Amino acid sequence: MHSASLQLDYVSSDELAMRSESWWSNVLGVVGFEKPPRLDPARVPVTASMTPSLGSSDNLCEVWRVAGGHEGPLATASLQQGRVHYRYCDELLFGSITIDEVGVQSHGSAALHRATMTAYQEIFAVLRATQHRHLIRVWNYLPEINREADGNERYRHFNSARQAAFRDSGRSTVGTVPAASALGSPPGSPLSIYFLASRQPPKMIENPRQTSAYHYPPKFGVHSPIFSRACVLSESIGTNLFVSGTASIVGHETIHHGDVTAQTRETLANIDALLDEANRIVGTRYSLDALKFKVYVRQPTDLGAIESALAVSLNASTSIVYVQADVCREDLLVEIEATGESSGAIGRA
């Protein structure tokens, strides 16, 4: 079968409207920011994080698309199983699911727990059906992530449910777990999860500067967050690097409390360390400048300081989008995720 490389683009919905039929035939999924973009879901899975974008770009969309070196569509039709909308090509699958906690037959933290369990169960059912067994990258957006519910932060309830869902499905909860991001969305938003899965196993990368999240000590919650710091998917015509949401954490502790500039610098140092680790393990040659960034900003008034801090290390043409979102520790002011697109330079032994 054909191999294809995965591309990420941030474009306005106006620009999307002008793309050709053949271009659309290779789009796996489109993600809006504050609301789902007005696109036909029969054509391609459409979802939204519900977190508003910051800055000039209006109606911004995150587009995941496969590109092959040959003619014709690579992807299936836009499909649905349960509440999961998905589309796939031979190697890669994009999917999304949203669940409104209000519609779940439970209250308080039990509703979040149930919504999270259900979402992951439905995701795993799709992966079983299509044989894209490897969950490689997950984006989790939950309303009011830092709010207390029944004596615990909602993020911690989410972590308990996510871990239970992985365990119940027979999946590992350490080591071979997906790269991820987990952010807060405004009150009243649904739980929104989207993901990429693959047929071939990715290589998981941990950060030598940080404790693996699945080994965080219990003071951060009885059930640890289940994610890898990064992963690399290698295919015959290129590789993709997925860097999880990364913050100003060294070891397992938040550092630079209240200093958004220092937090931004520390976060980039963490991503740089991950790149070194990925390049060492996989033989790729990713550099900071080759990545596309999504920056989650807790307080919109910090945007200028974050932009300035990033400008010191990234060149001016680097792709960066800014999003307002609550980060999953109260003391974190910024979180940064990144994706490295196809780089042909795989040194395979």
Catalytic center residues: 335
Pairing of strands 203-205, 60-67: unpaired
Please name every residue paired with 319 in a beta bridge, in sequence order, or none if there are none.
Answer: 292
Q: Which tokens is 36 given?
A: 């789902």
Which CB, 202 or 245, lies closer to ligand 3EB? 245
Return phi, psi of residue 228, to 5°.
-95, 155
Element holding 273 (H helix, E strand): helix 260-282
* Residue 23: CB minimum distance to ligand 3EB, A: 31
How far is residue 86 CA from its own chain's centroid? 16
Strands (E), 257-302: 291-297
User: At 130, is the secondary structure helix, strand, or coil?
Assistant: helix
Q: Which of 117, 180, 268, 310 binds ligand 3EB (CB under 6 A)?
A: 180
* Residue 177: CB minimum distance to ligand 3EB, A: 9
Footprint on residues 126-165 left by ligand 3EB (CB under 6 A)? 140
* Residue 225 touching ligand 3EB (CB under 6 A): yes
User: For residue 287, how many C-alpha atoms fall within 13 Å in the half-sphere facing its CB?
Assistant: 5
* Residue 338: CB minimum distance to ligand 3EB, A: 12
Return phi, psi of residue 36, to 5°.
-65, 135
Task: Tell me how far apart the alpha carbons of residues 63 and 32 are, in angstroms, rounded to a whole number.
Answer: 9
Stretch that binds ligand 3EB, among 127-135, 174-182, 258-266, 290-298 (CB under 6 A): 174-182
* Residue 241 touching ligand 3EB (CB under 6 A): no
* Residue 181 touching ligand 3EB (CB under 6 A): yes
* Residue 37 touching ligand 3EB (CB under 6 A): no
Please list, residue by residue across 144-153, b when 16 or more beta carbons sit within 10 angstroms of its beta carbon and e when fewer do.
bbeeebeeeb
Footprint on residues 323-342 left by ligand 3EB (CB under 6 A)? 328
Footprint on residues 205-224 left by ligand 3EB (CB under 6 A)? 213
Q: Which of 30, 39, 111, 182 binds ligand 3EB (CB under 6 A)?
A: 182
Q: Which of 10, 94, 194, 227 binds ligand 3EB (CB under 6 A)?
A: 227
Which CB, 65 or 223, lies closer to ligand 3EB? 223
Task: Tell me how far apart the alpha carbons of residues 268 and 207 are, in angstroms, rounded to a whole number.
Answer: 12
* Residue 93 touching ligand 3EB (CB under 6 A): no
Beta-carbon contacts of 158 under 8 Å, excluding residues fewer than 6 positions away, are 112, 116, 140, 142, 145, 182
* Residue 274 touching ligand 3EB (CB under 6 A): no
Beta-carbon contacts of 152 under 8 Å, excluding residues fewer than 6 positions away, are 109, 221
* Residue 178: CB minimum distance to ligand 3EB, A: 9
Draw the binding track, 243-262, toward ligand 3EB (x: CB under 6 A; -: no contact).
-xx-x-x-------------
User: Which amino acid is residue 109, in one-letter code?
Assistant: S
* Residue 293 touching ligand 3EB (CB under 6 A): no
Q: Which tokens is 237 given?
A: 């015509």
Contact residues for ligand 3EB, defined by CB under 6 A:
140, 180-182, 213, 225, 227, 244-245, 247, 249, 328
